[in-house]
């Protein structure tokens, strides 16, 4: 989210919403209906399964897209979609999980989704204002980078506390911080932050695929 262009997001906002919200919901419902039909489980449990598998893997998609030379705008849409699709999926899973314990109505689901999105956006903007104010007064590069590692929690924890989407809050905050970085950070701090985040992202992404690979033997055995 720090790297993505706010201009690109504004330009392709409708395509991104269609992919990250409507398509994820459609996929979750279809997978849920098929699972409900094939397996001896309730629809709520089947929908939770659909929510888990609905969001596509952004890491693989963008990596392949760049290597095969897809147009920059298409890559931007894929990256923008990847920032928000997990939020849609998490709300779907939490709603389905709640439905396993108590009855829910379409109205309550709609209200929960609205609270998750609007609340997440609001918390993200507030977190951005707080972190931008702090970063503007910090001139030491290591301290500035350390603050950037803390900043996701400044958005995520309050959002989750009010039952909004922590993912959306972090994304909104990071997009705004990335857009305003030339005005609130020194050039040295921006370069150092970019290099550090690239390293962290590389480690985390590869760790995820390593953990998936390590489960292969157990899955095959079972």
Token reading at 215 = 């489960």
Q: What is the CA radius of gyration of the chain?
A: 19
Give the Cα separation of 67 and 61 in Å (integer). Answer: 10
Q: Which residues contact 109 (CB under 8 A, 6 or more apart)?
A: 95
Express each pLDDT in 117-146 by its tens digit: 889 999 999 999 999 999 999 989 999 999
Residue with tokens 């389905």: 96
Q: How confident is the model at residue 209 (pLDDT cuts 50, 70, 90)?
A: confident
Give the orientation angle of helix 43-53 with respect to helix 72-101, to 10 degrees: 160
Please say if the pLDDT value at position 93 is more than 70: yes
Q: How confident is the model at residue 154 (pLDDT cuts 50, 70, 90)?
A: very high
Q: In this predicted structure, what is the pLDDT of residue 60?
A: 67
Residue with tokens 């897209």: 65
Residue with tokens 């419902």: 29
Q: How confident is the model at residue 172 (pLDDT cuts 50, 70, 90)?
A: very high
Higher-scoring residue by pLDDT: 65, 185:
185
CB 169 within 8 A of CB 159: yes
Q: Of 26-40, 44-58, 188-202, where does mean pLDDT reach its minimum?
A: 44-58
């Amino acid at each position: 989210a720090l790297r993505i262009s706010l201009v690109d997001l504004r330009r392709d906002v409708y395509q991104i919403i269609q992919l990250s919200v409507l398509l994820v919901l459609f996929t979750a419902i279809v997978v849920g209906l098929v699972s409900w039909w094939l397996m001896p489980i309730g629809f709520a449990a089947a929908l939770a399964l659909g929510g888990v598998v609905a969001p596509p893997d952004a890491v693989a998609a963008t990596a392949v897209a760049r290597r095969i030379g897809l147009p920059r705008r298409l890559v931007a849409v894929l990256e923008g979609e990847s920032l928000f699709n997990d939020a849609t999926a998490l709300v779907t899973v939490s709603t389905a999980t709640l439905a396993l314990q108590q009855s829910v109505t379409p109205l309550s689901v709609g209200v929960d989704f609205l609270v998750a999105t609007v609340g997440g956006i609001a918390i993200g903007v507030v977190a951005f204002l707080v972190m931008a104010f702090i970063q503007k007064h910090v001139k030491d590069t290591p301290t500035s980078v350390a603050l950037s590692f803390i900043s996701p929690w400044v958005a995520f924890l309050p959002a989750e506390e009010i039952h909004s989407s922590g993912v959306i809050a972090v994304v909104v905050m990071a997009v705004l911080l990335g857009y305003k970085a030339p005005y609130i950070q020194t050039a040295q701090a921006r370069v150092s932050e970019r290099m550090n985040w690239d390293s962290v992202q590389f480690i985390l992404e590869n760790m995820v695929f390593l953990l998936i690979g390590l489960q292969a033997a157990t899955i095959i055995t079972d």
